[in-house]
A and B are shown apart, each in its own frame.
Chain A
């Protein structure tokens, strides 16, 4: 599928680099992963990154949690209305580590964060509302954790993504 990225790449990269110098920005193959850019930032810097994305008029598509034996990943998919320009921001979250909320920047994030909290038990720091969203109020388990229920595989991150991350 020959989808071209229709925006100069470095514009966003520069905005992010200005805000978050630690960010690791890689180009990815859209025809394989569906994203043009992958940004890996430290957990504490997600708010700044989200601000940069918001300044560049990206909207939040989804927040996805992933469970690995050596930690969680929280993925933020961003996209633009005007141009095709999907960016994934990847957080490596240690078990038990808290993630700063971005619901103050993207209102959409509130429900997505609540959902991730439901499924993975990842706490979002500073979120105004952490009630269970999809799960009943009284559950004490997190169903999408790989040690809940019947599980086929529980990998380390590098088993899927290779050693570079």
Chain B
């Protein structure tokens, strides 16, 4: 990586606004770049353009009325947030959920995780200038959206989990479709690897670039595939298993250095692990009710607070709920992984080229509305 300390004569640093309207900032993110030629001297991400005030909304809605909100926090992994919120409330209430509901939730969550990763794969490569993988991924992703649409009734912002279970049972058609999708996705790996992973240009663009090492991760609280890329096997699904993650067998893919390549490989492998989880969950899927009996109509958790972390597609997300014993939460705080991940950019970007900036920005997989909440 080139350095900028030689101080050539008669050059001037200048500012470049990357965004808020820019093809590569995926949403309304603005990065104020201080440039020396094409080298970044300073990067200052400016956020808040998509701030909707979910945390304030939560205080004026009952626990049930807040249900549609979490999936709008991060619209690409909406199910995971929906799931996480319901789990947090259940933990606060000490509610036990029927086994079948747990399995169904996990199957849907992992499908959603795959769809989120597929979308990342496409957009990341589009940032690198390869347009075609984007459409391949969307073609695959469409199947997931159709599957989830079939059982939840929505394509993107799901509200399928209920406090104490799920809205309705799944059927054979969904299970068959899911298994077919997994088969299809596995046959697509070869295509993806031939088209992208083995491409020399791609390799040169991503190796040794944008290194997020363990130190940066610790200072900034980077989690998810970005953290696992540098070799730390931290995954909430393993660290603090919720639902049935303790009962299924899966691995945490890790990288070595924490460069873009590692993050890329981690995400690809994670999709395969998600497939494994789904397969096992479907195999073990028990019969029974999908909604706990005796869930009160009025959700009034006892006084107290709970911090509930879960693994979203981008890292450790969490709901922190303070209850005052009424049906309105006293405070809901949403910990979003992209918030911390994006902040680490201020340290990673300086010294790289404009083209790398785009690649790094794409590789950390941010969803801007998630950061803004």
Contact = CB atoms under 8 A, between A and B. Distances in A.
> When A and B assemble into the complex, do they touch directly, with CB atoms less than 8 Å apart?
yes
Nearest to B372: A134
Interface of B is mostly: mixed
B139 interface: no
A153 B329 CA distance: 9
Contacts of B325: 160
Interface centre among B91, B304, B333, B346 (most CB of A within 10 A): B333
A134 B306 contact: no
Given A150-B60, A153-B330, A160-B330, A33 B218 contact: no
A3 B245 CA distance: 12
B272 interface: no
B293 interface: no
A66 B331 CA distance: 7
Given A62-B318, A62-B335, A110 B343 contact: yes
Contacts, number: 128
Interface in A118-159: 119, 132-136, 143-144, 149-153, 155, 159
B240 interface: yes
Contacts of A64: 320, 331, 333
B333 A62 contact: yes
Nearest to A143: B56
B307 A33 contact: yes
A155 B221 contact: no
Contact of A33 (B219, B306, B326, B340): B306
A121 B53 CA distance: 16
Nearest to B309: A34
Interface of B: 47-48, 51, 53, 55-56, 59-60, 91, 94, 217-221, 227, 232, 234, 239-242, 303-309, 316, 318, 320, 322-326, 328, 330-331, 333, 335, 339-340, 343, 346-347, 372-373
Interface of A: 1, 3, 31-35, 54, 57, 59-62, 64, 66-67, 75, 77, 79, 81-82, 84, 86, 88, 106-108, 110-112, 119, 132-136, 143-144, 149-153, 155, 159-161
